[in-house]
Structure 1
Amino acid sequence: MPTLTQRPLFDVSPAPPPAPGRTAAEFFAGIGLARIGLEQAGWEVVLANDLDPSKQRLYEGHFGPSTHYLLEDVHRLAERPECVPDVSLAHASFPCTDLSLAGARRGLDSGQSSAFWGFHQLLEAMHDRRPPLVLLENVTGLLNSHGGRDLHALLRSLNRLGYAVDALVLDAAHFVPQSRPRLFVIGKRRAPRDRDLRPDTLAPSPTRPAKLIEAIRAAGDIDWSIAQLPEPPPYGAVRLESVLDDVPLDSPQWWSRDRAEYLLSQMSARHRCAADAMIGGKRWSYGTVFRRVRHGRSMAELRTDGLAGCLRTPKGGSGRQILFQAGDGEHHSRLLNADECARLMGAPGYRVTCRLNEALFGFGDAVCVPAVTWIAQHVLNPALEAR
């Protein structure tokens, strides 16, 4: 039997008191992970808005009963802008479905992703009460959606509302053991021009990869306000085992022998070779598995680089991520549990007060906590202080 190693869990320090003037409204708020990230950087969320009752239940199960959570479609909220208080920041992690493969890349004007335009209408209706800062989050597929036209339309719409814009890509794997690259767009009213970077001076970096720089340079008619950014923490420094529960092997969380063997049988030769190497090791090692349909067949794809794959909403049979633990001739499989998913999102200690599937929907739709904190510390806070 391999020796179990002690797995240290990273901690989130208590949030500092909010700084004067750092108030935020959170749209598409979900279960409140962006709120936690903002609070870590000294912000106070005074309004949260979503239309999913199950996410509101999760939010209030963690934070407590709330009077500031508005359960309403953002398009309808745009008809009542007086419901939104004066704030310094509007954060919107709007639906990504139609900007990804899951939504057949229908684009920003289709389906759930068109909710961005409801958020835009709300900002427009606020007139001179528009917040000085806007932070948007979505999948990196937005960069090339409809040949880049969707991103250009989004940026142009912010310009028309008086915001100069910035953009960066930040992967959760700089902070937690989960591969989760996301595009963040920042809008700044009356931005300080003296410190802005010019698009033609940008060089590829972890936060502005070549594909993003290409998109920025292609949008020559956009009013940019590009901030200088420090390097984020090293990619992949936090390992998967640091967020895992030490679940006894006789726990019902682990799959039966037959089910675990069937998972192995679903692997391609390359993935099976990696699994066999793990099984032959002298200590436990850990990987994650997603099932995907390849050439009409369900296949199990094993990841062994110390990172989990991107958490997703558990729609269909392929959305749930599987833990593969192996060593000394043994192998065991189970689904990642809610507490482990919370840690993968940088929210250890998040109180889950609902059914597992509801929790996984909440985490799969959310934004990584320390990624939001990093952006707040290095982009939002300096921009607000410079006004």
Structure 2
Amino acid sequence: MIIGIPKEVKTGELRVACTPAGVRHLVAGGHRVFVQKGAGEGSGFSDEAFMKAGAEVLPEAEDVWAAELVVKVKEPVADEYPFLREDLLLFAFLHLAALPGLAGALLQRGVSAIAYETVSAGGGLPLLAPMSEIAGRMSVMAGAFYLAAHFGGSGRLLSGVPGVLPGNVVVLGGGSAGMEAARVAGALGARVTVVERDRERMRFLDTALGANVRTLFSNDQHIVEELAVADLLVGAVLVPGASAPKLVGREMLRSMRPGSVFIDISIDQGGCSETSRPTTHEDPVYREEGVLHYCVTNMPGAFARTSTEALAGSTLPYVRAIADSGFKGAMRGMPGLAEGLNTWRGRVTNRAVAESLGMEYRRNPFGADGHASAS
């Protein structure tokens, strides 16, 4: 099979979908790999390294997109829509619930599109999890940075100092991203509250995290009470494939202290607040109701080397399976991969995506029903 690795063109996106080591593995299996010139530079991988691994480095995006299977990091942007075609198999983060325009383009062109974020395994989301872990850890780093007074924050140091109380961090959601956010905030010495709805998950978090991390049942009253004392709010809620639930209304946000910071990791799926809107690494923050909002849709791209290695290591077995067995063979042989299929022959084949977009759901022909479990 011919596999294409294009250069990412989303603003601020420096990751690449495959490393030279991954290329070597695919080429050893008898497959051809097209890599666009400069695709790995932002992650520290040179064209020469890809060529030594056996890739064919091509200068033009259209030549790379001509491959049978195109593997990307982020979803195609409008400039890439002309490359979409009926016989294309696309494997990438898609987040279609928040991108109806992209969903329409994929359906109109009949693309078979597999979304990393809905591929499942063992009750989890193995391709989303490493990026969620990075985003979770990064959220506290970014939040602590923007709390500085000269960035418009309240001037609160999350760790505190002897004689001064530490800051309060509230994390909405206790999945992979939320847990890592709580872990880093707790390690800094902040007082941390994780708002979660699943009792068993709260028991796990209570055991796994430090004594300064507490858990709280998720409901409107508890969220309002926690927002009133939060210095840093982290939105880390997830319904796989679906639009993120709006847990924070504008009125709720007004209860937060001026200069507090809100990091919305859920922005890829539309965000978990009424005041959330997508931003980029080039212009990451804005202020609403006195609260600094950080809503970058590709947070892990800031740490491109680490993120590329974590993501490519997770996706490579699936890419190899598709290349070895073909699309249909891999779909039938790997039920978890089949759950990642979002569009096929002009149909939406993921129930949560269809419901979020108000489109007709058509049963996944390869045995998955479009549902996936949260990680």
TM-score band by shorter chain is 0.3 to 0.5
Calculate the TM-score normalised by the size of structure 1: 0.37
